[in-house]
Amino acid sequence: MRTIESNLITKLVKDLSIKANLELRKDVLSALRHAKKRERNPKAKRVLDIIIYNALIARKKRLPICQDTGMVVVYLEVGQAVKIKGDINKAVKKGVLKAYKEGYFRKSIVRDPLIRKNTDTNLPPIIHTKIVPGSKIKLNVVAKGFGCENASRTKMFRPTVATSIIVDFIVSIVKEVGSKACPPIVLGIGIGGTLDKAVSLSKEAVLRPIGRYNKKLHVARLEKEILKKVNKLKIGPMGIGGNTTALGVSILTYPTHIAGLPVAVNISCHATRDAGKII
């Protein structure tokens, strides 16, 4: 059994929360640069230039990429041969608390969703824990802004639905609300499982680097088709028009019930932020 002190988890969550907010993912930055080269609309090109410049300034000057420093979502994969000394959930929360205090990040969380008083700590985070084989811990910290979270949708389809109807549903969401989600966006799509599993898959899908497609060929084909159709909407960067509405589409699937077909669409903005580490 390998023992890991909970203090180490706190330090990692703190460091990764800060990194996610200050350093745009390399694959996102590279996708933005590629998009800029391909973009034919001069205004859209200029907007992409500003988005890229903003990300570079944030990294260099240690400033947040966006004023909305998000709700923190932590993915923990804990090896079953690991013993955590201390309370892992408390350790994660302490890490988030320290990051948002020391980083002077905006605190965006309200304690009660109906009364809406700010916790002033950015706590609590959402914590997903998976027990996996091995003696390592994998941590991923996501800072999710709510401009794009509010644009996300889900639908329970009939099991007999044609794939083209699912594609139309996804494209219609982007058409309806894509411009409000600070495009160019990254689309995470979950198909299958139960309602909650589909949503969870759509969140995890965004963690996959842009340009890496699903290993199942029929799913990868769908990812490419959706990306093409979404970009044909010509919403463009920050809704100004142009060829770049989405940078990438990632789909994750899971077995489901014979009587249904859940589909969840998680929209992530150009500030698609997460950072991870394995210990």
Within 10 Å of residue 127's Cβ, how many Cβ atoms?
A: 16
State whether residue 174 is helix, strand or coil.
helix
State whether residue 268 is helix, strand or coil.
strand
**Which of 181, 187 has the CB closer to ligand SF4?**
181
Q: How far is the CB of 8 from ligand SF4 (least distance, A)?
A: 29
The phi, psi pair for 150, rounded to 5°, reads -65, -20
The DSSP line for 95-107 is HHHHHHHHTTPPP
**Which of 145, 178 has the CB closer to ligand SF4?**
145
Q: How far is the CB of 159 from ligand SF4 (least distance, A)?
A: 34
Q: How far is the CB of 17 from ligand SF4 (least distance, A)?
A: 14
Q: How far is the CB of 150 from ligand SF4 (least distance, A)?
A: 8
Distance CA 104, CA 113 (A): 24
Q: Torsion angle of alpha carbons 25, 27, 32, 35, nearest 10°? A: -170
Q: What residue ranges bind ligand SF4 (CB under 6 A)?
A: 66, 68, 145, 147-148, 181-182, 269-271
Q: How far is the CB of 145 from ligand SF4 (least distance, A)?
A: 2
Q: How far is the CB of 181 from ligand SF4 (least distance, A)?
A: 6
Q: Strand 2-5 and strand 82-85: pairing?
A: parallel
**Which of 69, 140 has the CB closer to ligand SF4?**
69
Strands (E), 158-241: 185-193
**Which of 66, 78 has the CB closer to ligand SF4?**
66
What is the 3-state secondary structure of 43-71? HHHHHHHHHHHHHHHHHHHCCCCCCCCCE
**Which of 20, 264 has the CB closer to ligand SF4?**
20
**Which of 229, 273 has the CB closer to ligand SF4?**
273
Q: Give the residue at shortest CB distance from ligand SF4.
A: 145
Distance CA 84, CA 99 (A): 21
